[in-house]
Amino acid sequence: MRVPSSSLLLLMSFAAGTFSAGASDNPQHLMLAGPSGGVPNNPLPLIIWPRVVPDDQEDFAAWFEKTFEENGWPPAWRYPIFPYTHYHPNTHELLGVVEGWAEVLFGGDSGRMVTLRAGDAVLIPAGVGHRQVSASDDFLVVGAYPHGMSPQTLRDEPEKLQMAQELVKRVPLPTQDPFTGKEGALTDIWQPIAAMHLQP
């Protein structure tokens, strides 16, 4: 799916409210470009894959870990999402929801709430704030990063915003979609937006 320029304007026009990843089976994207307090965010949008785990899979954790590993996103941990706003200024982060559900606030205090459910995956651009607001008792995700990347974790601290923004600008654009290992939603959605922001 290519993102036409008219769609880019629509990406920026989301109103406040809860975004449900289960509304479609197709990858969705959510723009959280502007800083919020001490959270830098990113011109690249969040990408959400609803119900990406195949119906015949029983062990969601094993499926996510195998899929991520095969496609250049080595899995790093299994855990819920921290209940405080944090972000990674030096790497993008990929989450696969293994069990349960959660409402996650992305983009800092002025961002958007997203409901994630078992079988969903979300790609969080470097610098985009996130925190688990509420969740089922069994909520669990697999976390992964591009090959060779290790996350630095910062909280919403306005005094670190400028430094964090500089770090976010230097994070390379991934070349492999986590579900195809080549071109896919990641490259189709992120590459045109990255090219726009690199224009003089």
CA angle 181, 183, 186 (to 5 degrees): 90
**Which residues 6+ apart lie within 8 Å of 40 measured at CB?**
87, 89, 127, 161, 164, 165, 168
Q: Residue 71 CB: number of other CB atoms within 10 A?
A: 20
What is the per-residue pLDDT for 197? 75
What is the per-residue pLDDT for 135? 98
**Which residues 6+ apart lie within 8 Å of 200 measured at CB?**
none
Q: Which residues pair with 99 in a beta bridge?
A: 140
What is the per-residue pLDDT for 59? 97
Each residue's pLDDT tens digit, 60-103: 999 999 999 999 999 999 999 999 999 999 999 999 999 999 99
Query: How far is the C-alpha of 79 from the C-alpha of 110, rounded, in Å?
Result: 25
What is the per-residue pLDDT for 3? 36
Q: What share of the chain is helix, strand, coil (3-state, %, to 5)?
A: 25, 30, 45
Residues of the chain with confidence (pLDDT) below 70: 1-25, 198-200
* CATH numeric code, 45-146+173-190: 2.60.120.10
pTM of the model: 0.87
Instruction: Reduce the DSSP state of residue 81 to 3 states and report it.
Output: coil
What is the per-residue pLDDT for 196? 86
Q: Please answer whether residues 189 and 130 qualify as being in contact, where contact means their C-beta atoms are separated by less than 8 angstroms.
A: no
